[in-house]
Chain A
Amino acid sequence: MRLISGVIFFLFLLISCSKKQDYSKVQLFGHAGMGLSIENSFYHDNSLESIELALSINGCDGVEVDVQMSLDKSLWLYHDPNLETQTDFTGCISSKTDKELENVRYKTFSKEKLIKLNELDFNILKNKTIILDLKNFNYCTSKELDKNDFINALKQLPFVMDSSIKVKIILKEALWLESFIDNEFDILYEANSLEKWNTIIDVYPSIKGLIIKTSKISKSEVQNIHLSNKEVFLFEMRSPNTIREALIKNPDGIISDDLRGAVLEKY
């Protein structure tokens, strides 16, 4: 009995001992909904179910989703280059028509549908941020897509005009930056290194911020970018330890693959 009481006391001591820092200014985003290829996610990434579940969790400030364009110039949510890796269909989104993509389902227990970006319920996006990671490449033909098609498709989305929903666009392609900035989109540039970011920001000072892997940037480097009035968003974090390391750097937002874990670490 004494042993059991001792173990219970030790457990409570362990749980109550940790004192959390104040991360109230760091926003939490679900990576493609509840997380990309993570065990404890109930639904497939970029599915309507996963995005809705993420946005309904207390403490979630928004989601990041992966956007690809079909032959009919519609925006679809999908991460991988090829459909066969995650769905019951083959080929690339950019080589398929909307009609072909309408009945595509993920290879999961729930068999979630592949969805168009405009199928998201605007009510659940109210007072949230949606970060759109644009895939500017047709992986099957190895050709770059037309940036103007993306701009036109984005402008037709009702929530882009809604002031209660913040929309940010992730771009990796430097040649696309100018057109998107001219069309007054909030641009986050995805850089592999800070050297690349410094080169780009000199040429395009209107970019809103940087999105970078958490392992590629330190706390002081985040502070330096904040001094130039730019935002910093970090991604690629799954374990409690990597989420904690990202929060300590005090970015504007973290895009976590374990949203529940990120909420536990932040609050």
Chain B
Amino acid sequence: MLVIVLFLLFCSNNLFAQSNKYHVSLNINYSKMDLFTGCSLMSIKKIFDHEFSLYTGTIRTFFQSSFFPMIQYSFNYKVLNKSTYSFSPLISMNIAMLNLKTTKANIHLYPEILIGYKLTYGKKIGIIHKSSIGLLSECFQTQLNETKWASTFSYHFNIGIYYAIN
């Protein structure tokens, strides 16, 4: 994990020297834990893109009144970059948080690491599609005050629309 973070930081330092374009997007993200909806800010480079997203789990938040936020960072390497479309493999790191409170707060954390691909089509306004698979964990304090970890296979299927700011 540390190697991946260092690699991403190294890439970001190199790439921030390039000319910067930004896209904002609205996304729907179907995953194992919920149907997430949210927005992203993408830093568009010639070869690499960085994407920061904020989501909320629709079922838990809107149908169960329990805010279920998820923060996502994606790093894309464009293997195909034409004027109207692009294709890039991606690596993504997410963390979601759900408070399963009983008589007291009980935070369940859901860290995830995923690999997949991203497709974009459009110019000023366009559509995005991302699919990824990876490993999802759940971490929380048990009734005996021990930290419990559980892990499983996970997936994300994402569609959205973007707007190029500059």
Residues of chain A touching chain B, judged by Cβ–Cβ distance below 8 Å, are 11, 14-18, 39-40, 42-43, 49, 53, 56-59, 109-110, 240-241, 260-261, 263-265, 267
**Judging by beta carbons under 8 Å apart, are B152 and A59 in contact?**
no
Residues of A contacting B142 in the complex (Cβ-Cβ under 8 angstroms): 56-58
Known: A56-B144, A240-B59. 20 other contacts (CB 8 A): A11-B56, A11-B61, A16-B65, A40-B34, A42-B136, A43-B150, A53-B138, A53-B150, A56-B146, A57-B140, A57-B142, A58-B100, A58-B141, A109-B152, A110-B152, A240-B64, A260-B98, A261-B64, A264-B64, A264-B65
A-B contact pairs, 16 of them (CB 8 A): A11-B61, A11-B67, A14-B62, A15-B67, A16-B65, A18-B65, A40-B33, A42-B138, A42-B152, A53-B138, A58-B102, A58-B141, A58-B142, A59-B100, A261-B64, A264-B64
Residues of chain B touching chain A, judged by Cβ–Cβ distance below 8 Å, are 32-34, 56, 59-67, 98, 100-103, 106, 108, 136, 138, 140-144, 146, 148, 150-153
Give the nearest-CB partner of A53 in chain B: B150
**Judging by beta carbons under 8 Å apart, are B148 and A53 in contact?**
yes
Residues of B contacting A14 in the complex (Cβ-Cβ under 8 angstroms): 62, 65
Contact of B153 among A17, A109, A260, A263 (CB under 8 A): A109
Q: Contacts A39-B32, A42-B138, A42-B150 given: A56-B98 contact, CB under 8 Å?
A: no
- Give Cα A53 to B140, complex, Å: 10
Give the nearest-CB partner of B108 in chain A: A260
Q: How far is the CB of A40 from chain B (nearest CB, A)?
A: 5
**Judging by beta carbons under 8 Å apart, are B153 and A267 in contact?**
no
Q: Contacts A40-B32, A260-B98 given: A49-B150 contact, CB under 8 Å?
A: yes
Question: What's the dominant secondary structure at chain A's contact region?
Answer: helix
Q: How far is the CB of A150 from chain B (nearest CB, A)?
A: 31
**Judging by beta carbons under 8 Å apart, are A267 and B101 in contact?**
yes
Q: Contacts A40-B32, A43-B150, A49-B150 given: A264-B66 contact, CB under 8 Å?
A: yes
Q: Contacts A40-B33, A53-B148 given: A59-B102 contact, CB under 8 Å?
A: yes
Q: How far is the CB of B70 from chain A (nearest CB, A)?
A: 14
Residues of B contacting A11 in the complex (Cβ-Cβ under 8 angstroms): 56, 61, 67
Contact of B100 among A42, A57, A240 (CB under 8 A): A57
Contact of A264 among B33, B100, B136, B138 (CB under 8 A): B100
Q: How far is the CB of A165 from chain B (nearest CB, A)?
A: 15
**Judging by beta carbons under 8 Å apart, are A58 and B148 in contact?**
no
- Give Cα A17 to B67, complex, Å: 13
Residues of A contacting B141 in the complex (Cβ-Cβ under 8 angstroms): 58
- Give Cα A14 to B101, complex, Å: 18
- Give Cα A240 to B136, complex, Å: 23
Q: How far is the CB of B9 from chain A (nearest CB, A)?
A: 29
Give the nearest-CB partner of A24 in chain B: B103
- Give Cα A264 to B34, complex, Å: 14
**Judging by beta carbons under 8 Å apart, are B106 and A58 in contact?**
yes
Q: Contacts A39-B32, A240-B59 given: A56-B148 contact, CB under 8 Å?
A: yes
Residues of B contacting A240 in the complex (Cβ-Cβ under 8 angstroms): 59, 63-64
Q: How far is the CB of A202 from chain B (nearest CB, A)?
A: 39
Residues of B contacting A265 in the complex (Cβ-Cβ under 8 angstroms): 64
Q: How far is the CB of A88 from chain B (nearest CB, A)?
A: 17
Q: How far is the CB of A1 from chain B (nearest CB, A)?
A: 14
- Give Cα A187 to B12, complex, Å: 64
**Judging by beta carbons under 8 Å apart, are B62 and A56 in contact?**
no
**Judging by beta carbons under 8 Å apart, are B63 and A241 in contact?**
yes
- Give Cα A58 to B59, complex, Å: 21
Give the nearest-CB partner of B99 in chain A: A264
- Give Cα A242 to B150, complex, Å: 27
Q: How far is the CB of A184 from chain B (nearest CB, A)?
A: 29
Give the nearest-CB partner of B146 in chain A: A56
Q: How far is the CB of B56 from chain A (nearest CB, A)?
A: 8
